[in-house]
């Protein structure tokens, strides 16, 4: 199963010229990297509210690029009483999978 919804990527590719798609994908790559790092740091420090805010931002960003599994974990981390430290490993794995697929998509676009 793909970390990114193939239909979302196909729709973006079909509607946007490469000159617009590449910067958008790079922005998603940067944003997801930063937000995953923010969540991880907040979870490691057991800082509930910063972890919830990072999870909220991750959920929205993940939804925008079609990273549905990452979005689902982030939504669980947003729930009241969620144990961010317990979700950190799963969140990290899903973020890494989504980031790898975005990077691979960018590589494919660069090759032509």
The predicted pLDDT at position 66 comes to 95
Contacts of 82 (CB under 8 A, 6+ apart): 51, 52, 55, 76
List the chain residues with pLDDT less than 50.
none
Residue 8 main-chain phi, psi, to 5 deg: -65, -45
- Nearest CA-CA partner of 65 in 25, 23, 13: 25
- Nearest CA-CA partner of 14 in 6, 26, 4: 6
Cα torsion angle, 83, 44, 89, 100, sign: positive
| Structure tokens that stand for 33 in this block | 């990297």
- The whole-model pTM stands at 0.92
The predicted pLDDT at position 21 comes to 96
The predicted pLDDT at position 112 comes to 72
The predicted pLDDT at position 38 comes to 97
Count of C-beta atoms within a 10 Å radius of residue 17: 8
Domain ranges of the chain: 6-10+18-106
Task: State how far the Cα of 79 lies from the Cα of 55, in Å rounded to an integer.
Answer: 9
């Amino acid at each position: 199963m793909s970390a990114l919804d193939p239909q979302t990527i196909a729709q973006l590719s079909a509607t946007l010229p490469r000159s617009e798609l590449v910067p958008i994908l790079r922005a998603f790559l940067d944003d997801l990297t930063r937000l995953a790092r923010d969540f991880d740091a907040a979870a490691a420090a057991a800082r509930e509210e910063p972890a919830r805010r990072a999870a909220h931002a991750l959920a929205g960003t993940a939804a925008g690029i079609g990273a549905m599994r990452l979005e689902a974990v982030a939504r669980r981390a947003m729930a009241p009483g969620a144990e961010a430290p317990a979700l950190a490993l799963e969140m990290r794995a899903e973020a890494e999978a989504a980031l790898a697929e975005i990077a691979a998509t960018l590589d494919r676009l660069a090759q032509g």
